[in-house]
Structure 1
Amino acid sequence: MSERNVLVFSNSHYADAPYDKWLEGTGYRLQMIVSASKAAEHAHLPDVSAFADYWNNPRIEQTALEIVNKRPPAQIIARCEPDILRAAKLRDIADVAGQRWHSAVVFRDKVAMKTALAHHGITVPAFARIDIPLDLLHFAEQYKYPLVVKPTTGSGSVDTHVLRDDQELQQLLDRGIRPHTEVEQFVDGPMYIVDGLVLDNELLAAHPSRYVNDCLSFRATHYLGTVMLGPDNPMRSRLVEYTRRVLARLPTPQHTAFHLEVFHTSDDDLVLCEIASRTAGGMIPAALRAATGLDIDRAWFHAQMGLPQQTPLPPAGQPATMCGSHVLIYPRQGTLDSLPAGAPPGAVQHRVRGTAGTRYDGDNRSGDWIAGYVMVSDGERAAEQAVHETAQWFEATTTWKPLQRKEPSCR
């Protein structure tokens, strides 16, 4: 019965992707490879291998290959960024259906992605791969500041730098540029996101939202949120059709979730930031589920497994009747002294990851939030207000102790 095995890579919290529950009664057997930080949440499962340094640990690939060679799986599942390429390469090796390497690289590597889309007429910012520092210096001579330097396969705004002048450029050069990096022109304008689902090569769900703050400015405000666009927002239908065009010009898998980010400029242009063949991070999937009833992760998983969908899927162009929103709270610089108990009025779901007594340095990536809240509102304006009010509630009910500076030694 080796064909009934399912190999799953997971750097997710169990509550976000309870694969065993989604497979109940199907006869499939899970083989899980998880991050060591999530091992306790998956301890009830019979076949789990846990690894530290989940993004970079080569023993993950070694273990996965051993599993594939010993018991070829019926499917290989990946939900998070570092696993997309791992799973695709293994599908190539074991000839397992699903997203293959070529598709995964185009969705994962920002230079390959922008190159492919620009070739097909989708507007992207000017960009260049940085192989050596001279590539960045030459780009800076060609284009005006600000410039954005970021990893080609990064996520969560890790190692993303906005360079506003020659001095900041020199500071980055002095620190050193990491391998696998790109530079692109900064795009001035609000960012929209579209999250959805492709099943059997058809766009079956597409839900546009907009950021409240964004994945760079949250460091100053200490919170980041999203708000689903209301049915009367003229950008909603435009973004759905834009998403359809982008997906049609990429090697999109037969079944995939996706998370698209796009800028809307003052000239009324849409300029792609990036698109990923996975579900969004944070609590965006939870906000969509609360507002629409669609669990994108479960629907995507069932499609890959060839299992029937548990809930009907509305047409991609049909707007949600309610507006979901979510807000993530980020730590300040200091020691977290106390956290609020429970959730604020209006929150339909919440998750607290911070712990009293923990010291934070304030240098956060967008995945380093300490609390998250999901709200559902009757209208886009009310949804945005809920984001701000929830952040204010958290601020008012949380206490921080400033970092203690060490006194100079008299010795």
Structure 2
Amino acid sequence: MSSSGHVLQIGWHGHALMALQAQGREVTCVLRPRDLATAAKHGNPERHVVVPDTNNFEDVLSGVRRRGLDLGDFELVTSANEYCLVTASVLARLAGCLGMPVTAAVALRDKYVQKDLVRRAGLPVADCWTVDRLADVGLASSDRPLVVKPPAGAATRNTYLVRTKQDLVDLLDAEPLAFGGPWLVEEFVEGRELHIDGAVQDGRLALLAVSRYMRNVIAIQSGTFLASVVLRPAEHPGLYGRARELTAGVLAALGHHDGVFHLEAFLQEDGGLVFGECAGRVGGGMTRDAVAWSTGVDLLDAWAHTSLRIPFAPEPRLSAGTSGWLHVPAPAGTVLAVPTSDEAREQPGCTLAAIEVQPGSEMPDTRIGSDVRAGRVVIVGDDETHVEERIRGFVNWFGARVRTTAGPSGDE
């Protein structure tokens, strides 16, 4: 294994690149042509390997070779990108260097594989199976709701809640689906949805933060906004204990011993937790920023340390209040008027804001996926209730000022 201090990063992620550089590493980044303009802002274009598809092993291997490099030159092959985890892990295995184990990468990407491993470990998880075509789903009865989705999807795209046989008929009769199959079919789990974020090193949980979605993620399909609030350990000691126990068991079952994780679970009425799914990356939205505000620990710094096997033992500095994040909603259509990021930061509790649309740009339908938004903000407050109130207030403030060809935005 090389100790050269050179890292091969698959897929563009500017903040991840900087986290690796902060550890004194030289980073060669494999990226797509469309990422070049953004990557150029970070300098070092000689360290960029441009390929048609960062998930294609042939493209990546050929691109590295064209640059006169060899996989054996690298200490670590890694990715902070959801869709590149398996590619990076296979290349690390070929290089004989540090990287995520291939079996762990597959388990962290394929939801059927991970749920099967979690079930075999004796942990609570919904029953699930796969079908080759959506028409093969079937429903045992009208009162058995199911969720169907791609086995290795993300951001709730191409994910459907099927409560009745008629729901399935309507789905099959709709416009041609963007995803053709095979499909993962799982029993719908009731309960409040949580996300558990942190880092693991050498099989030991080094950091764990529990957050609660204001509405379960699948509710975006009915038009609600996506937001979550970080829960303070002192106010939820029992929940944190159960979350730690579930997370440790899941990561062990998946073989994910070094890296970061974004795990989702459902809180039951009796206080128990049912596993939802787990990714081997930093959570989406502004999870990183909200966790950093509440704990003082940067998840990407944790990712760099644990990926490089540098000892990581942070001492979280819990804030006086707590924080949350919001994917700012707006009606679909051409944007006619929208508040600026500076105006957003003037709203109560808003510490970070990135309004990503501007007049003339197209706003997609937020029901498409959990990553569709007009912008992202971090909101802080005295406690969870205060943060939730401020998030709702922000949604109403923004909605009264944004205009698209579809009309004004509403609240939740």
Specify the alignment match of 1:334 in structure 2.
Answer: 333
Q: Alpha-carbon deviation of 1:121? A: 0.9
Q: Is the 8 A contact 1:228 1:324 kept in 2?
A: yes
* Cα distance in 2, alignment partners of residues 167 and 398 from structure 1: 36
Alignment of 1:237-386 (within 5 A): 237-253=241-257, 255-307=258-310, 313-314=314-315, 321-341=320-340, 342=342, 343=345, 344-362=347-365, 363-386=367-390
Q: Secondary structure at the match of 1:141?
A: coil
Alignment of 1:162-311 (within 5 A): 162-174=161-173, 175=176, 178-230=180-232, 231-233=234-236, 234-253=238-257, 255-307=258-310
* Cα distance in 2, alignment partners of residues 392 and 146 from structure 1: 32
Q: Equivalent of 2:38, from 27, 33, 41?
A: 41
Runs of 4+ deviating beyond 4 Å: 50-58, 64-68, 132-135, 306-309, 318-321
Unaligned segments of structure 1, at least 5 residues: 404-411
* Cα distance in 2, alignment partners of residues 36 and 212 from structure 1: 37
* Cα distance in 2, alignment partners of residues 24 and 222 from structure 1: 39
Specify the alignment match of 2:96 in structure 1.
Answer: 95
Specify the alignment match of 1:409 in structure 2.
Answer: none
Q: Alpha-carbon deviation of 1:131? A: 2.6
Shift in CA distance, 49/386, structure 1 to aligned 2, threshold 3 Å: farther
Q: Secondary structure at the match of 1:97?
A: coil
Q: Is the 8 A contact 1:327 1:374 kept in 2?
A: yes
Q: Secondary structure at the match of 1:241?
A: helix
Unaligned segments of structure 2, at least 5 residues: 408-412
Q: Alpha-carbon deviation of 1:365? A: 1.3
Q: Secondary structure at the match of 2:246?
A: helix
Q: Alpha-carbon deviation of 1:109? A: 0.8
Shift in CA distance, 250/2, structure 1 to aligned 2, threshold 3 Å: closer
Q: Is the 8 A contact 2:111 2:152 kept in 1?
A: yes
Q: Alpha-carbon deviation of 1:154? A: 0.7
Shift in CA distance, 336/119, structure 1 to aligned 2, threshold 3 Å: same
Q: Is the 8 A contact 1:130 1:183 kept in 2?
A: yes
Alignment TM-score, normalising by the size of structure 2: 0.86
Q: Alpha-carbon deviation of 1:322? A: 3.3
Q: Equivalent of 1:388, from 392, 407, 411?
A: 392
* Cα distance in 2, alignment partners of residues 337 and 52 from structure 1: 35
- Deviates further, 173-182 or 271-280: 173-182
* Cα distance in 1, alignment partners of residues 118 and 19 from structure 2: 38
Q: Is the 8 A contact 1:287 1:325 kept in 2?
A: yes
Q: Alpha-carbon deviation of 1:133? A: 4.8
Shift in CA distance, 158/393, structure 1 to aligned 2, threshold 3 Å: same
Aligned residues: 392
* Cα distance in 2, alignment partners of residues 108 and 320 from structure 1: 33
Q: Secondary structure at the match of 2:358?
A: coil
* Cα distance in 1, alignment partners of residues 398 and 82 from structure 2: 30
Q: Deviations over 1:163-190 (max 9, x none)?
A: 1222221243454662242001111211
The code of the aligned residue for 1:249 comes to A
Shift in CA distance, 250/308, structure 1 to aligned 2, threshold 3 Å: closer
Q: Is the 8 A contact 2:135 2:172 kept in 1?
A: no
* Cα distance in 1, alignment partners of residues 22 and 243 from structure 2: 36
* Cα distance in 1, alignment partners of residues 71 and 56 from structure 2: 24
Q: Secondary structure at the match of 1:93?
A: helix
* Cα distance in 2, alignment partners of residues 326 and 265 from structure 1: 23
Aligned Cα root-mean-square deviation (Å): 2.8
1:120 and 2:121 matched: yes
Alignment TM-score, normalising by the size of structure 1: 0.86
The code of the aligned residue for 1:23 comes to Q
* Cα distance in 1, alignment partners of residues 308 and 75 from structure 2: 8
* Cα distance in 2, alignment partners of residues 5 and 386 from structure 1: 44
Specify the alignment match of 1:4 in structure 2.
Answer: 5
The code of the aligned residue for 1:373 comes to V
Q: Secondary structure at the match of 1:364?
A: coil
* Cα distance in 1, alignment partners of residues 259 and 76 from structure 2: 14
Q: Deviations over 1:242-266 (max 9, x none)?
A: 222322333123x210011011233
